[in-house]
Amino acid sequence: MTKHIFVTGGVVSSLGKGLTSASIGMVLERRGLSVRMQKLDPYINVDPGTMSPYQHGEVYVLDDGSETDLDLGHYERFTNSPLTRDSNYTTGQIYLSVIEKERRGEFLGKTVQVIPHITNEIKSVIHKLAGDDVDVVITEIGGTVGDIESQPFLEAIRQFSLDVGKENCLYIHLTLVPYLKAAAELKTKPTQHSVGQMRQIGIQPDILICRCERSISREDREKIALFCNVPLEAVIEEKDKDFSIYEVPLSLVDNGLDELIVKKLHLHAETLDLDIWRDLLHRLRNPKHEISIAVVGKYAEHVDAYKSIYEAIDHAGMHHQAQIRIGRIHSEAIEREGPERLLAGYDGILCPGGFGERGIEGKVEAIRFARERGIPFFGICLGMQCAVIEFGRNVVGLVNAHSTEFNKDTPHPVICLLNEQKEITRKGGTMRLGAHPCKLDPSSTSAACYGEELISARHRHRYEFNNVYRQQFAANGVVFAGLSPDESLVEIVEIPEHPWFVAVQFHPEFKSKPTCAHPLFAGFVGAAIERHSMKSDRSRETEPASESIEG
Ligand code: GLN
C-alpha cells in the first residue's frame, strides 16, 4: 500500500517547503523507495500560467505541457519522480472540476459544499498518484497554516488519514524558530502557535522541521517537543544554508529525518547512499575555474522569475567544477547605460525567455555586444527571438526587423505568430506547450553538446521564426541547427563563425539536474571557461615579465 507524507508550512511563507519536500523525496529515493511528488496550491488561478513572474516566479513547464508552480522544478531537479498535470493542483482547478460536475448533474441535485464535495475532490487528486509501484506520495500543501484559502486542503488531508489509516500517513510541519537579537535567544513560541493551529484543525504533526538561523539547543528542542506534543527525535533542525541549497538533504539526513520517516511509516528501505550527492557538493566546494555569466532579463531583481535558469547555470558549474558568478542584468539598464558598461568583463551572456515589450531593445543590444565581441551567447525562447531580430537588423540588413509580438506593423516580421496560434484568444494553457521532438544538424554545436541527433525539449511560446526569412539568414551565416521533424519550425539557430552562439526556441533549463547538467548549459559554460582562460593567458602575455620590472 502506498504511504502518504503531507508537508505543511507554518508561521511565515518562503520557508523553503518545496525544497524540503524535494529533499525528502530525494533521500527516500536514495533509500531505494519509489516516490511521487505533488503540490497543492491554495490560490484560485487555475494554474500559474497567467500569473506575473513578479507575483509567482517562473512558470515551470512539464513534458505534458502543464504550466506549474516553480516548486515542481525542485521536485524534478532532486528526484526521479515522473511529473504530470496530476502533480500540481490549485484551488481553481479543484473548484472548476467540481463546478463542471455539478453542471453535468453528477451530484444528483444535492447541495454542493466545501465539505464533502471540495474535500472529496482534493482527496481524489491525492489518490491519483498512489499505485502498486509507488511506495510514498509526498504532497506539499502550499501557503501557510492559518490562511483562509488553505483550510479545505488541510481538512482534506485530515480526512485522508481516516480513509487510509493513520499508520499510512505522516504529517510533516515546516516551521520557523526565529532568533531574537534583542533577547539573544531562539524563540519557540511561533512554532507552538502554528502547531496549535494545526491541532485545532485536527491534525497533530508527526514531525516538525524547524527552519532556523542558529542551531537549536537540546533544551529548546525539548521545549518544542513538549509544547507541540511530538517526541524529541521528531524535532528536526533545518539551519539556513548559506553555501548551497544542495546541502539541505544532507543536513536533514544528519539530523535523522530519513530514519524517522522510514520507522514511522514502516517502510522497507535500503541503506542510504548519498555518494553522488556528496561528490556534487565536493565539486562545488573545490572549484577549478572561476567565471562570470551575465543573465540579461527584465526581472533581474527577482530571483524566482528565472529560477531554473540560475539552477541550470549552477549545474553546468558543478559539471565543469567551476565557480560561476551570475550577474543579473536589467535589460532596461542596458538601454540606458549601454552594453559596454554593464556587460564588459563577463565570460558569457545569456538571454532568457519572457513576454512583453519592456526591455526588448536592451536585450537586442546585449546580443549584438555578445555577437560582435565573440562572447559565448546562449539565447532561450524570447532570447532566441531577440537574437533573430538582432541578426536580421544588423547583419542581414532588414531595417526595423522585429517580432509581431512587439510591432505588428514591422516591415520585417522575422518572428511571427505560430499558425496554430492565430485563432486563439483565450489565455491559460493555450500556447505551444510541453515536449516536442527536435532534429539536430549533425555538424552543429548543439548536436556536439547533446551527442544525439534527435532530442526532446519543452516549449512555452506563441511566436516563432518566420520561415520567409530562412534563406536570407542562412546566406548571412546563420545555421538552423534544430528543426521540428517535419522541418516546418526553427527550434535552434547558431552562428558557426562565432566561438559559441546558440539560441533555442525551447526551454532547456527545465531539464537540467544537479547530477546531470543540461548538455547546452554545459556547452555554454564550457565555452565561457575557455574564453576566460584565453583572456587570462592574454593578460599574462601582455604583463611585463618580472625580471624586466626588477631589471
Ligand atoms: N513571448 C514569446 C512568445 O510567446 C517568447 C516566450 C518565452 O520566452 N517563453 O513566443
- Distant-in-sequence, close-in-space partners of 133: CB < 8 Å, separation ≥ 6: 34
Pocket test for ligand 1, best of 360, 461, 466, 506 (most atoms within 8 A of CB): 461
Hey, what's the cell of 411? 516591415
Distance between Cα 186 and ligand 1 center (Å):
46
Return the pLDDT at 122: 98
Of 210, 212, 351, 381, which one is the catalytic site residue?
381
Helices (H), 438-518: 445-450, 470-475
Return the pLDDT at 543: 52
Distance between Cα 383 and ligand 1 center (Å):
9
Report which protein residue has its CA nearest ligand 1's atom 5.
Answer: 382
Judge whether 140 counts as a catalytic residue: no
Distance between Cα 264 and ligand 1 center (Å):
46
Count of C-beta atoms within a 10 Å radius of residue 80 = 14
Distance between Cα 381 and ligand 1 center (Å):
6
> Which is the closest atom of ligand 1 to the Cα of 383?
8
What are the DSSP calls for 159-207, one per residue?
HHHHHH-GGGEEEEEEEE--EETTTTEE--HHHHHHHHHHHHHT---SE
Distance between Cα 237 and ligand 1 center (Å):
41
> Which is the closest atom of ligand 1 to the Cα of 418?
10
Specify the pairing of strand 169-176 against strand 67-68.
unpaired
Return the pLDDT at 546: 42
Judge whether 507 counts as a catalytic residue: yes
Q: Which residue bears the cell 631589471?
A: 551
Per-residue pLDDT of the chain (551 residues; tens, 9 = 90+): 999 999 999 988 888 999 999 999 999 999 999 999 999 999 999 888 888 888 788 999 999 999 999 999 999 999 999 999 999 999 999 999 999 999 999 999 999 999 999 999 999 999 999 999 999 999 999 999 999 999 999 999 999 999 999 999 999 999 999 999 998 999 999 999 999 999 999 999 999 999 999 999 999 999 999 999 999 999 999 998 878 889 999 999 999 999 999 999 999 999 999 999 999 999 999 999 999 999 999 887 788 889 999 999 999 999 999 999 999 999 999 999 999 999 999 999 999 999 999 999 999 999 999 999 999 999 999 999 999 999 999 999 999 999 999 999 999 999 999 877 777 777 777 889 999 999 999 999 999 999 999 999 999 999 999 999 999 999 999 999 999 999 999 999 999 999 999 999 999 999 999 999 999 999 999 999 999 998 888 777 665 444 333 32
DSSP 16: -
Return the pLDDT at 422: 79
Hey, what's the cell of 512? 537540467
Return the pLDDT at 242: 79
How far is residue 186 from each of residues 147, 210, 211, 241, measured CA to CA in Å? 25, 11, 11, 17
d(CA 271, CA 250): 14
d(CA 349, CA 342): 11
Hey, what's the cell of 271? 541503506
For 348-404, give the secondary structure using H, E and C: EEEECCCCCCCCHHHHHHHHHHHHHHCCCEEEECHHHHHHHHHHHHHHHCCCCCEEC
Judge whether 381 counts as a catalytic residue: yes
Q: Which residue bears the cell 500560467?
A: 49
Q: Where are the beta strands (DSSP E) in 43-83?
A: 60-61, 67-68
The radius of gyration computed from the CA coordinates of the chain, to the nearest angstrom, equals 26
**Of 250, 303, 308, 240, nearest in space to 277 by CA:** 250
Q: Which residue bears the cell 554545459?
A: 522
DSSP 137: E
Report which protein residue has its CA nearest ligand 1's atom 3.
Answer: 461
Return the pLDDT at 209: 97
d(CA 229, CA 210): 15
Distance between Cα 347 and ligand 1 center (Å):
26
Return the pLDDT at 41: 95
Of 459, 507, 518, 532, which one is the catalytic site residue?
507
Pocket test for ligand 1, best of 462, 466, 491 (most atoms within 8 A of CB): 462
Residues in the chain: 551
> Which is the closest atom of ligand 1 to the Cα of 354?
8
Q: Which residues line ligand 1 (CB under 6 A)?
A: 353-355, 381-382, 385, 405, 460-463
Q: How far apart are the first and last CA of the chain?
A: 81
Dihedral angle at the C-alpha atoms of 282, 509, 530, 275, nearest 10 degrees? 20
Return the pLDDT at 352: 96
Q: Which residue bears the cell 583572456?
A: 535
Hey, what's the cell of 16? 523553503
Hey, what's the cell of 474? 542562412
For 416-457, give the secondary structure using H, E and C: EECHHHCCCCCCCCCCEEEEEEEEECCCCHHHHHHCCCEEEE
d(CA 151, CA 201): 8
